[in-house]
Amino acid sequence: MTLSNRDLAELLWEASEQERDHRRRALRRAGRAAMLWPEEAAAVASAGRSLTELPAVGPWVAHQINAWLEDPPQIPDPPEARRGFLTMSEARAALDADPRWERGVRGDLQVHTTHSDGRYPLEEVVAAAADRGYEYVGITDHSVGLPIANGMSEERLRSQGLEIDLLNARLEADGARIRVLRSIEMNLSPQGEGDMSAASLAELDLVLGAFHSKLRGTEDQTERYLAAVRNPTVHVLAHPTTRRFGSRLGLRADWGRVFEEAARLDKAVEIDCSLARQDLNVELAEIARDAGVRISIGTDAHYLHELDTMDLGLGTAAIAGIAPERVLNLLSADALRDWAAGVRGS
Please state whether 192 falls in left (phi above 0), alpha (psi between -120 and 50) or beta: left
Q: At a CB cut-off of 8 Å and minimum separation 6, what does 148 contact?
A: none
Q: Which helix (H) or strand (E) holds 172?
A: helix 154-173
Residue 1's pLDDT is 81
Q: Is there a contact between 178 and 129 (Cβ–Cβ < 8 Å)?
A: yes
Q: What is the pLDDT along the chain (346 residues), one digit of tens a residue?
A: 899 999 999 999 999 999 999 999 999 999 999 999 999 999 999 999 999 999 999 999 999 999 999 999 999 889 999 999 999 999 999 999 999 998 999 999 999 999 999 999 999 999 999 999 999 999 999 999 999 999 999 999 999 999 999 999 999 999 999 999 999 999 999 999 999 999 999 999 999 999 998 888 899 999 999 999 999 999 999 999 999 998 999 999 999 999 999 999 999 999 999 999 999 999 999 999 999 999 999 999 999 999 999 999 999 999 999 999 999 999 999 999 999 999 987 6
Burial 169-200 (b: 16+ CB within 10 A, else e): eebeeeeeebbbbbbbbbbbbeebebbbeeeb
Distance CA 38, CA 81 (A): 23
Angle at 47 between CA 44 and CA 49, to 5 degrees: 60
Q: Report the candidate in 32, 56, 81, 105 with the shortest Cα–Cα distance to residue 275.
A: 32
Indicate the DSSP class of residue 252.
B
Amino acid at 171: L
Residue 226's pLDDT is 98
Measured CA to CA in angstroms, residue 254 lies from 87, 145, 224, 327 at distances of 27, 27, 11, 22
Distance CA 103, CA 100 (A): 5
Q: Which helix (H) or strand (E) holds 271?
A: strand 268-272
pTM of the model: 0.94
Cis peptide before 27 (omega within 30 of 0): no
